[in-house]
Amino acid sequence: MTVHYQIFNVGDGPAAKILVEDPDFVDHAKFFVLKPNSTAREDSKPMEEVEGNNTILSSGKFSVNSLFPGQNVSYSLTAVAFASSFPPEGGYHQFQPAQISYTKGGTVQVGWSSLSHEGAVEFISKFEAERLHGSKTMDHILFVLLIASAILIPFTLWIRHVTKYDALQDILDHEKENKKQLKRAEMLKKKFR
């Protein structure tokens, strides 16, 4: 999942040493942050630690050097839920607001973010996610094959029936025409004798 943060300075003075800490990503117990992504200013920096060859975001924290009145900064990170954190059939997680601390006028202020959703967020199993959002191509092909057989079998029986009786009707019509021709020929014979 991708988590987006937007920080606005709605005050009348500049804010410095802004630190955002998201408690949902503190101990990597349920989520692992894969890739920080700054979408705004260059002074927005993730707090990184290096593990082997991988750089990970530590605890879902990031900082901004300063933010002037009326300015904003946005930041995104990508997180993966550990399968072992939820039961096999999925589960719910109640996300917490992020803590935002900043320095204004020499004193440290602490605030909390608002969340874009109410209540717990549902996580579903991989099987259920693939069932709901996966490709349905094979299902559609099987459906078409089943419907095609249900339509083609009666259609072929009907065509065989129609062609058989159409051929018989043609023979009968031909016989009637021959009888008419014979009657006309006999009438002409009688007339000219």
**pLDDT over 70 at 146, yes or no:** yes
Residues 171-190: tens digit of each pLDDT: 888 999 999 988 888 888 88
- The structure tokens 């349920």 sit at 30
Question: Partners of 49 in the beta sheet?
Answer: 56
Instruction: For residues 158 and 166, give the distance between their C-alpha atoms in angstroms, rounded to a whole number.
Output: 12
pTM for the model: 0.53
Q: Which two tokens stand for residue 151?
A: 């339509």
The two three-digit tokens of residue 56, written as one number: 């990970």
Q: So what's the pLDDT on residue 59?
A: 58
Q: Which residues of 45-69 are buried (b: 16+ CB within 10 A; e: fewer)?
A: ebeeeeeeeeebbbbbbbbbeebee
Q: How far is CA 17 from the centre of its chain?
A: 38
Domain 2-134: CATH architecture, name and number where available:
Sandwich (2.60)
- Per DSSP, the three-state class of 83 is helix
